[in-house]
Amino acid sequence: MHTRARTLLTAVNGTTGAGLLLAWLSGATVRRGRDGVLIAEGYARRVPAATCFTVGSVILTRRTADWLLDERRTELFHHESRHAAQYATLGPLFWPAYWASCGWSYALTGSYGARNTFERRAGLAGGGYVEKPLRPWMARVARSPGQRRARPGS
């Protein structure tokens, strides 16, 4: 998705407005970022605990904009920018879809990110997530149906 289209869509669908409102309510300072994404630095609320999170085309961070724009954080910046593209596509539906995906991931692995489709598509490693194996009971359920049908009477 073109960065201009992303910026425009997140403005029109209201998610960037929500991000700016959250930045203002939390006392964060909004700075120009890169590729049409704004950075709200100095976010200090306890929730979410992450160093960075994105709402519309606004990346809210506990650190500074310079910290996030440093070339050592390129992957993290791209990860958060891909979330902005997800907001451009889904608009406010991003939130229920994201939380459902967190629940799904947690049920499967005990991690909110590992099997979360939004985090996977944004790039797990870039967001600081690691692959996690399925929980043992889930791994049994996920086995092929043929294996389960093999035992007669069960």
Strand partners, 55: 58
Nearer to Zn ion, 94 or 108 (CB): 94
Give the nearest distance from C-beta 77 to Zn ion in angstroms: 11
Restricted to residues 38-67, the positions that interact with Zn ion (CB under 5 A) are none
Q: Residue from 127, 137, 144, 146 that binds Zn ion (CB under 5 A)?
A: 127
Number of residues lying near Zn ion (CB under 5 A): 3
Task: Tell me the residue nearest to Zn ion as measured from the CB.
Answer: 127
Among 116, 138, 148, residue whose Cα is nearest residue 129: 116
Tokens 């947690």 belong to residue: 106
Instruction: Please state whether beta strands 29-34 and 37-41 pair in parallel, antiparallel, or not at all (unpaired).
Output: antiparallel
Residue with tokens 């996920």: 142
Instruction: Write down the least CB distance from residue 76 to Zn ion, Å.
Output: 9
Structure tokens at 28: 């964060």
Task: Select 20 or 122, whichever has its Cβ closest to Zn ion.
Answer: 122
List the interface residues with Zn ion, window 64-123 (CB under 5 A). 119, 122
Residue 67 CB partners (closer than 8 Å, separation 6+): 41, 61, 73
Q: Which residues bind Zn ion (CB under 5 A)?
A: 119, 122, 127
